[in-house]
DNA sequence: ATGGGGGTTCCCATCATGGGAAGGTCAAGG
DNA sequence: CCTTGACCTTCCCATGATGGGAACCCCCAT
């Protein structure tokens, strides 16, 4: 057994987690410190690759790093009750549904406005009229809490 | 006319844009430098409030600050063709739809997994089994490009 | 032995937002 | 007049997950 230890770049290639992120996960405690060669290179074995793929998959399902830490702990505890895992998953689902609903609301509003705008050479524009409408209640901003949202924004719309 | 000039806090209260953000919008050029009193306090008039409400509304529709800058420019240009505005709105809609589809995919997958997990005292858990499945292709991460995603993440899942 | 590819650390940027410190200003009340 | 407290100013820092890049070290193959 004990396959040849892989360097971080190789581990990155095989798991789809970038070398940069592997280092970061280690620095922030999501991963235990990797074994080092004499010269300081990190080395990874099969078990590490497994963990990295787990992380990668969880990220793809939208879990935050904190959530993944919880999942990893449960994963390593072979006696865990599945109820705990299911609860985490359902919180995540609820979170996703909340975010979807928020975006859906925005999209629908914009679609209405866009449909009402003829989009030709003339300056009349219901979209701008809506944005500029002065009669909006200054609601206390529905608190953006709980919207991870991943990924840097596009450069410009 | 010329109503009494408002302080930044008052403007914030009336527009739903926090004082902090008003200063930041000014610092980054989204807003022109505000008029100052002798002692350095920023003062805002009706036109400024109007602009701030415009910004607030656009943020609520998910536009990035860059997008809002474009919209503001069009708004101020009374001769603009509405086509430009409509194009921006439709890009934004497409962006929202893309993000929704991504989240929807995650939610559906998780729902399948969650449904398959009995969530009791026993340790068997299809959710963890899926996350741990080793046979995943290390696809080059579907490039998170173009997903603004607003708002800081929740503290922990 | 030399070159190139890849490792290491450290710093910086993103995007929109809030928290907080240190210090100046203003209006109301004693 | 002076205090008090609310409000303003600027400046720095943190968030989350990610990438970019510099400066430097290491290892293997020609």
Residue B147 predicted with pLDDT over 60: no
Give the model confidence (pLDDT) of A35-60 as tens digits: 999 999 999 999 999 999 999 999 99
Asked: is B8-63 a CATH 1.10.1660.10 domain? The reply is: yes
The mean predicted confidence, pLDDT, of chain A is 87
Residue A133 predicted with pLDDT over 90: no
- Residue B137 has what pLDDT? 65
* Chain A touched by B144 (CB under 8 Å): yes
Residues 56-75 of B with CB under 8 A from A: 56-58, 60-64, 66-67, 70-71, 74-75
Residue with token string 């359902």? A90
Residues 6+ apart with CB under 8 A from A111: B93
- Residue A1 has what pLDDT? 52
Cα separation, B110 vs B132, whole angstroms: 14
- Residue A23 has what pLDDT? 97
Distance from CA of A120 to the nearest CA of B (A): 5
pLDDT > 90 in chain B, percent: 81
Question: Out of B86, B114, B144, whose CB is closest to A93?
Answer: B114
Scored b (16 or more CB within 10 A) or e, A42-53 reads: bbbbeebbebbb
pLDDT level of residue A62 (50, 70, 90 thresholds)? very high
- Residue A137 has what pLDDT? 65
CATH number for the domain whose boundaries are A8-61: 1.10.1660.10
Q: Could you tell me the end-to-end alpha-carbon distance of chain B, in angstroms, rounded to an integer?
A: 52
Q: What is the mean pLDDT of residues B93-100?
A: 95
Cα separation, A85 vs A83, whole angstroms: 5
- Residue B144 has what pLDDT? 43
Angstrom distances, CA of residue A14 to CA of A2, A40, A62, A150: 17, 21, 21, 23
pLDDT level of residue A5 (50, 70, 90 thresholds)? confident
Measure the CA angle with vertex A74, ends A71 and A80; round to 5°.
145
- Residue A4 has what pLDDT? 77
* Chain B touched by A21 (CB under 8 Å): no
A154 CB below 7 A from strand D atoms: no
Domain ranges of chain B: 8-63, 82-132
């Amino acid at each position: 057994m004990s396959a040849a230890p892989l360097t971080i770049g190789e581990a990155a290639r095989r798991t789809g987690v970038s070398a940069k992120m592997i280092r970061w996960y280690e620095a922030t405690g999501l991963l235990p410190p990797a074994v080092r060669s004499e010269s300081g290179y990190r080395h990874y074995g099969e078990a590490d690759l497994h963990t990295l793929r787990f992380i990668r998959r969880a990220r793809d399902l939208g879990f935050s790093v904190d959530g993944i830490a919880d999942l990893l702990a449960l994963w390593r505890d072979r006696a865990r009750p599945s109820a705990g895992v299911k609860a985490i998953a359902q919180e995540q689902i609820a979170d996703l549904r909340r975010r979807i609903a928020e975006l859906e609301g925005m999209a629908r509003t914009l679609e209405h406005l866009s449909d009402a705008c003829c989009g030709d050479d003339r300056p009349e524009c219901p979209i701008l009229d809506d944005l500029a409408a002065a009669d909006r209640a200054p609601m206390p901003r529905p608190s953006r809490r709980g919207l991870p949202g991943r990924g840097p924004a596009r450069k410009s719309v």
